[in-house]
Each structure stands twice: as C-alpha cells, then as structure tokens.
C-alpha cells in the first residue's frame, strides 16, 4: 500500500523534473527506477480491470492463473521466519527504516508473528548473541544492520554455515568481505546507498550558494566544522570526506576548524557545536553534520549562540527526517539529503524473498540519495510524513 503511494509520488516527481528540465541526473534516476518498478506492479491491475470490462476468456484465464500464483506466493511466505537485527533502536533513521521494513514484509505476505526485530543496543556482543538465537531458532532469512561493519566476516561465517541467507543493511561491509560472498557464491548481499553521493550532495548545496555568500569573514576560505557519526561506519567516513571534496573540487579553499564524533546523536552534536562556536565564534561559516539528528542538535547550539542559519552561518545534514525538512522549509537548515528508507527497506525485503524463493540476488543492491533544499523539501516531507 505504502509502496504504491511512494511510487506514485516518485512518478509525479519524475514528471515534474522532466517538465521543468531541472534537477540533476542522479535525482531523476531514482524516480525512473521506481517508476519502472511501479509500472510492473500496476500493469497486472490494469490488465485485470480491462478483463472485467471487456470479457475475454484468455484474459480471464490468465487473471485466474495470476491470482492463484499470488495466493501461492503469499502462502509460501506466511510461515517463513525472518530475523532482523538493528544496531540500535534509539537511532532515528533506523527507526524509520525498521518500521517500514516490517510493514512492507507484512504487505508481501509474511505474518507479523514470524518477524522478529531485535535491538543490538549498539553493542556487538549483544547482537552476536541475538544472531546465535536466530540461528538456533532456524529462521529462514536474516536481515542484519551490524553494530560494527568490521564484524561482518564473523557474522557471515556463522550464518552461512547455518545455511541461512543473509541480507546486510545500512552499514556496508568492506570490499574484501563482499568479494568473499561473490567468490563463494554465498547467499549474502548488501542493500544500501553509496554514502559518497550523500557527502557530495551536502557539499554541492554549499557550493551552489557561491563562495561570496559563504565566506562571511572574507578570508578567502570556507571555515567549517564537521560533526561525524560513528567513526567505524563507512557512511560517516564518506560523508565527511566527500562533503568537503565537493568544495575543493569547485576550487574553493577550506579550513577545518573542528572535526568531532557525535555518534549520530543529537545531544552529542549540540555539545560539540556549542563548544566549537564558543571557541571559533563568527569564524564558523558552515556546519556539516553526517546526519540530521546531529544537525538538529547543531541547530540548537547555533540558535543558543545567537547565530542565524542562512544569514551568518550554513548548516547541512543527511536523512531528511521530517523535523529537519521543516527546518529546511523554514530556512533554519540550509539543506539535507534524503536517505531513502522506503527504497532500502523494500529492496532488503525483496532480496530476502528472492532468497527464500531460491531466486538469488546480486551481492550489492544500491539506491540513490536525493538532494533536498527549500525547493523540494515540501515534496519530500509529504512523502515521509
Ligand atoms: C546512516 C544514517 C544515520 C544513522 C546511520 C546508522 O545511514 O544517515 O542517521 O542512522 O545510518 O548506521
């Protein structure tokens, strides 16, 4: 149900992009892909409708066969057990992700009673114990958001040994680990977006403002502070690197005043930014946060310091949490990047279904981020709300 709403929105967004001719290619790609997926979904319905109004024995027989196949598919999934490990329930973005994942799994025919989602409480030992329990319980598929991506090798080994297909989400295991899946032809895949793109989008939103508008202190450079997520996490590493790279690629000089770890958390970011503003005062021109939760904390610190986003400082995040989107609309955040939890959770569930049905998957299933400024924040807000 939700997927259809989302897809319809994306089709509309694509149409708008095509009509106005604006928006870069990457933004247009995701809607196009979804539109294609949606076409696949809606076409059978259209055929069924046509069958009703223009009776045709062939169409009706085909419809009956389709319906029987659908029912069989649902029945096949209804008694399958899915184990889902989330690194930490209190993470805002992963909360959106897991809620959508569960809803979508149910919409595809799984029984809610057979979907178990557990909180790793940001502790790898806790999560490893949960994986052991899922293995002992003989789940049919595991979907894992690892606490530490570096533990992926150990996790993969035990899950593969148990003969259970595995879908990693959100925290990408490194290349060597992914190569093992391909080399051994294991039923293991990763679903996620390329964090380099989100970092680049953050930087581009600043570049689009023009150096003159950003260089408030007139020293010819962009003086920024960086608030990082969990440093073990490739999303944090890439966003940190590629946001600044977009500035230097534009030929801008940059000065990093402060780069600290806020662990994706609003309160930690608020403290970090308050301290940095206390130390560097009006020299801070841009605050880059690896996610929106931290950007919201940064905004509290910025406002407490009597600074005004858009007037004497700029602020960007990633995720497109609804609160951050409201801020982008109000001008209290410069921009964010939509981290598409609909597409990621649906792809993860689809990959799980493919494994259960013996269809297999590619070992990497990607998706696109979307740049969000005041221009398109309302559209994204309508979608995520
Ligand atoms: C990122 C997201 C962050 C946080 C992190 C957890 O993709 O932007 O807000 O949820 O995943 O790994």
For 141-158, write each residue's pLDDT tens digit.
999 999 999 999 999 999
**Closest Cα partner for 375 from 335, 315, 342?**
335
Residue 235, ligand 1, Cβ within 6 A? yes
283 touches 223 (CB < 8 A): yes
Residue 94, ligand 1, Cβ within 6 A? yes
Residue 156, ligand 1, Cβ within 6 A? no
- Quote the pLDDT of residue 86: 98
At residue 340, the 3 state secondary structure works out as coil
Atom of ligand 1 nearest to the CA of 318: 8
Measured between alpha carbons, how far is 361 from 353 in angstroms, rounded to an integer? 10
- Quote the pLDDT of residue 60: 54
Residue 91, ligand 1, Cβ within 6 A? yes
Q: Alpha-carbon Rg of the chain, whole angstroms?
A: 23
Residue 339, ligand 1, Cβ within 6 A? yes
Q: How many CB atoms lie within 10 A of CB 17?
A: 18
What is each CA distance from 121 to 22, 97, 117, 311, in whole angstroms?
43, 16, 12, 39
Question: Tokens 């046509």 identify what position?
Answer: 50
Residue 100, ligand 1, Cβ within 6 A? no
Q: Where are the alpha helices (DSSP H) in 108-215?
A: 124-136, 152-161, 175-184, 195-207, 211-214
Ligand 1 mean position, distance from CA 358 (Å): 30
Residue 148, ligand 1, Cβ within 6 A? no
Ligand 1 mean position, distance from CA 119 (Å): 15
Residue 238, ligand 1, Cβ within 6 A? no
Ligand 1 mean position, distance from CA 95 (Å): 10
- Please tell me the pTM assigned to this model: 0.82
DSSP 49-102: HHHHHS--HHHHHHHHHHHHHHHHHHHHHHT--EEEEES-TT-HHHHHHHHHHH
- Quote the pLDDT of residue 63: 52
Atom of ligand 1 nearest to the CA of 97: 10
Ligand 1 mean position, distance from CA 68 (Å): 40
Q: How many CB atoms lie within 10 A of CB 33?
A: 15
Largest CA distance in the chain: 78
Determine whether 75 is exposed, middle or buried from the number of CB atoms within 10 Å of its CB (0-12, 13-18, 19+).
exposed
Ligand 1 mean position, distance from CA 59 (Å): 47
Atom of ligand 1 nearest to the CA of 192: 7
Residue 341, ligand 1, Cβ within 6 A? no
Reported as type and span, the H/E element at residue 169 is strand 166-169
Q: Which residues of the chain fall below pLDDT 50?
A: 1-59, 62, 65-66, 68-69, 71-73
Tokens describing residue 179: 């190569």
Site to probe by mutation for ligand 1, drawn from 121, 170, 242 as the one with most ligand atoms within 8 Å of Cβ, is: 170
Residue 98, ligand 1, Cβ within 6 A? no
Ligand 1 mean position, distance from CA 230 (Å): 9
377 touches 340 (CB < 8 A): no
At residue 256, the 3 state secondary structure works out as strand
- Quote the pLDDT of residue 75: 74
Residue 147, ligand 1, Cβ within 6 A? no
- Quote the pLDDT of residue 37: 35
Residue 194, ligand 1, Cβ within 6 A? no
């Amino acid at each position: 149900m939700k997927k259809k709403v989302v897809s319809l929105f994306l089709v509309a967004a694509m149409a708008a992009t095509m009509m106005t001719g604006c928006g870069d290619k990457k933004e247009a790609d995701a809607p196009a892909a979804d539109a294609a997926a949606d076409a696949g979904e809606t076409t059978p319905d259209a055929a069924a409708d046509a069958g009703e109004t223009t009776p045709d024995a062939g169409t009706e027989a085909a419809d009956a066969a389709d319906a029987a196949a659908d029912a069989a598919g649902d029945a096949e999934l209804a008694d399958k057990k899915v184990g889902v490990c989330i690194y930490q329930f209190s993470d805002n973005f992963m909360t959106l992700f897991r809620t959508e994942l569960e809803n979508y799994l149910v919409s595809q025919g799984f029984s809610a009673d057979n979907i178990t989602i557990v909180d790793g409480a940001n502790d790898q030992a806790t999560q490893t114990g949960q994986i052991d329990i899922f293995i002992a319980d003989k789940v049919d598929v595991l979907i894992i958001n690892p606490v530490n991506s570096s533990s992926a090798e150990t996790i993969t080994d035990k899950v593969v040994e148990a003969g259970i297909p595995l879908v990693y989400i959100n925290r990408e295991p490194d290349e060597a680990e992914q190569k093992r899946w391909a080399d051994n032809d294991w039923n293991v895949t990763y679903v996620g977006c390329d964090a380099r793109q989100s970092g680049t989008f953050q930087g581009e939103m600043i570049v689009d403002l023009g150096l003159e508008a950003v260089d408030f202190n007139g020293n010819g450079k962009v003086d920024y502070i960086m608030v990082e997520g969990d440093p073990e996490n490739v999303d944090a590493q890439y966003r940190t690197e590629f946001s600044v790279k977009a500035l230097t690629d534009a030929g801008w000089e940059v000065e990093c005043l402060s780069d600290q770890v806020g662990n994706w958390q609003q309160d930690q970011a608020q403290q970090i930014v308050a301290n940095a503003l206390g130390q560097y005062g009006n020299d801070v021109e841009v605050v880059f946060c690896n996610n929106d939760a931290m950007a919201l904390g940064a905004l509290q610190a910025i406002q407490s310091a009597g600074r005004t986003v858009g007037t004497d400082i700029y602020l960007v995040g990633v995720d497109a949490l609804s609160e951050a989107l409201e801020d982008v609309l109000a001008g209290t955040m410069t921009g964010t990047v939509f981290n598409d939890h609909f597409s990621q959770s649906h792809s993860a569930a689809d990959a799980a279904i493919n494994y259960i049905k013996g269809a297999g998957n590619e070992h990497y299933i990607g998706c696109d981020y979307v740049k969000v400024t005041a221009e398109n924040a309302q559209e994204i807000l309508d979608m995520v709300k």
